[in-house]
């Protein structure tokens, strides 16, 4: 992990860009000297485009005493495209534009290779991040892609709680994996999310094996998560990562 | 409204039992002198049986600066039974014990007459309560029976926000009424509630006309609402009743 830039935000949060091999990422740490629990900030891909929302979430977490980090997804932002993923994305777009139901086969082609590739990258990032001074444990995962968060919750024992954003199509195979999740979960669902299948999100919530799981459904579209829902997610981490 | 008893709880909350005509009720007010917003505490009937949970909710609300009040439901506790309601309750019990789906017709017989009778009583209680010194506005409704809360939200303009507990059978007629609700709603659903229909609860949530509505679903049965879910409901009232 190599740091490539460093700046102090006006609220005292230290923002550092880094690369992990070919993968760009950003780390935000609060001002306090004590080792901070870490939240991995998930997103749909495209760090530059997503930056305003990512930094807002990181500042909120820093105010609660948490470090946050994120990495670019395979095939997004400045990373090389995959022809197969681009094709699947185009097929998805076409189905949505035509108002057609999204084929399981499209969701499989779009999401499963992404999960396969991204999850080991997040794990490698975790190795590097946890070796830094100022970053302690426990670790939480927050956000989308929900299939990446689900797989991480199953395979990565260092993640002890997750806020999952039900805002992307879920391959059927992930429902079986969801049953193996046992960590506390806080699932956010936007009731009118235009690029999502509400019933699939409810089914996935039902499938999670966790003894403590909570669904917070709010009105509005994909990007309309209300402030109070973000606050509630922050309180979930405060309960589980301290 | 006549007060029949008065005692000060150890946290300073003043608990007063009252009667409103034939209807018994309880009023809890916080120690502070300023007029407090009021939360009407809904329940499934049986003030004596429910008392431990009711007083816990009232103390929590008092700590947030709210007065709380509740009244006995028609046909429950010490109030005269209705033969028709008892028959409907027995039919419901029989269907549940047999593992059969609950007929709409049973839910109609059980719930609709209760709503018809209870809602004007809650409104009369509200008239009396809001005339007391120490009780101001705004007013919230909190709890079950969800059909009573729904009807109150439609017909009673003094209620400005509601926490509704989706824990009872909902007559089909209530779905139409739900569309007329416009106040902010916070709906609690116990995912494994044994005496409830989860899909009907989700459908009812979908039907509410409110621009701000949030569903909090948690694991466990009817009486297993986790502490953090109660805290979240309290924060909803803090946002809307102050």
A218 touches chain B (CB under 8 A): yes
Do the Cβ atoms of A140 and A40 come closer than 8 Å?
Answer: yes
Do the Cβ atoms of A13 and A59 come closer than 8 Å?
Answer: yes
Taking the CB of residue B6, how many other CB atoms lie within 10 A of it? 11
Q: Residue A233: what pLDDT?
A: 96
Q: Which of A163, A182, A232 has the highest number of chain B CBs within 10 A, making it the mutation to test binding with B?
A: A232
Q: What proportion of chain B, given as a percentage, has pLDDT over 70?
A: 100
Cα(A206)–Cα(B60) distance, integer angstroms? 30
Q: Where do we find the tokens 């593992």? A: B99
Cβ contact (<8 Å) for B214 and A213? no
Q: What is the pLDDT of residues B113-128, one digit of tens each?
A: 999 999 999 999 999 9
Q: Residue A33: what pLDDT?
A: 76
Closest CA to A229 of A240, A219, A242, A241: A219
Higher pLDDT pick, A178 / B32:
A178
Banded pLDDT at B26 (limits 50, 70, 90): very high
Q: Residue B33: what pLDDT?
A: 76
Q: Residue B196: what pLDDT?
A: 79
Domain residue ranges of chain B, discontinuous segments joined by +: 2-240
Cα(B181)–Cα(B163) distance, integer angstroms? 13
Q: Evaluate if residue B206 carries a pLDDT over 90.
A: yes
Ranges A79-88, A227-236, B18-27, B191-200: which has the least confidence: B191-200
**Partners of B3 in the beta sheet?**
B18
Cβ contact (<8 Å) for A239 and B218? no
Cα(A106)–Cα(A172) distance, integer angstroms? 11
Q: Evaluate if residue B195 carries a pLDDT over 80.
A: no
Angle of helix B47-63 versus helix B227-240 axis, rounded to 10: 60
Q: Evaluate if residue B171 carries a pLDDT over 80.
A: yes
Closest CA to A139 of A162, A120, A122: A162
Q: Which residues of B touch A217 (CB under 8 A)?
A: 205, 214-215, 217
Cα(B233)–Cα(A6) distance, integer angstroms? 41
Q: Residue A8: what pLDDT?
A: 97
Average pLDDT of B182-209? Answer: 94
* Residue of chain B with shortest Cα separation from A239: B228
The SS3 of residue B226 is coil
Q: Which of A228, A229, A238 has the highest number of chain B CBs within 10 A, making it the mutation to test binding with B?
A: A228
Banded pLDDT at B96 (limits 50, 70, 90): confident
The topology (CATH level 3) of B2-240 is: Rossmann fold (3.40.50)
Do the Cβ atoms of B30 and B12 come closer than 8 Å?
Answer: yes
Cα(A49)–Cα(A234) distance, integer angstroms? 23
Q: Residue B191: what pLDDT?
A: 96
Q: State residue A200 phi and psi, 5-degree precision.
A: -65, -40
Q: Residue B100: what pLDDT?
A: 86
Q: Is A2-79+118-240 CATH 3.40.50.300?
A: no
Q: What is the mean pLDDT of chain B?
A: 95
ipTM score assigned to the predicted complex: 0.88
Q: Which of B205, B214, B236 has the highest number of chain A CBs within 10 A, making it the mutation to test binding with A?
A: B214
CB-CB: which of B191, B216, B219 is closest to A216? Answer: B216
Q: Evaluate if residue B194 carries a pLDDT over 90.
A: no
Average pLDDT by stretches of 10, chain A with 242 residues: 97 97 97 91 96 96 96 96 93 88 89 97 98 94 96 98 93 96 98 87 97 96 92 96 90
A242 touches chain B (CB under 8 A): no
């Amino acid at each position: 992990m190599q740091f490539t830039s460093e700046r102090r935000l006006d609220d005292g949060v230290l923002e550092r860009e880094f690369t992990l091999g070919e993968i760009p990422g950003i780390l935000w740490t609060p001002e306090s000297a004590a080792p901070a629990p870490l939240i991995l900030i998930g997103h749909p891909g495209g760090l530059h485009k997503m930056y305003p929302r990512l930094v807002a979430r990181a500042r909120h977490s820093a105010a609660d005493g948490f470090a946050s980090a994120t990495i670019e997804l395979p095939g997004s932002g400045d990373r090389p495209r995959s022809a197969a993923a681009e094709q699947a994305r185009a097929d998805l777009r076409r189905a949505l534009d035509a108002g057609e139901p999204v084929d399981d086969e499209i969701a499989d082609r779009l999401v499963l290779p992404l999960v396969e590739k991204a999850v080991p990258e997040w794990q490698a990032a975790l190795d590097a991040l946890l070796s830094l001074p100022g970053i302690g444990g426990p670790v939480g995962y927050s956000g989308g892609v929900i299939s990446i968060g689900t797989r991480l919750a199953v395979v990565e024992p260092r993640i002890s709680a997750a806020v999952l954003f039900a805002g992307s199509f879920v391959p059927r195979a992930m429902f079986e994996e969801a049953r193996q999740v046992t960590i506390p979960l806080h699932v956010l669902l936007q009731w009118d999310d235009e690029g999502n299948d509400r019933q699939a999100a409810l089914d996935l919530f039902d499938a999670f094996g966790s003894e403590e799981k909570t669904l917070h459904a709010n009105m509005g579209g994909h990007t309309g998560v209300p402030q109070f829902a973000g606050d509630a997610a922050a309180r979930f981490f405060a309960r589980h990562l301290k």
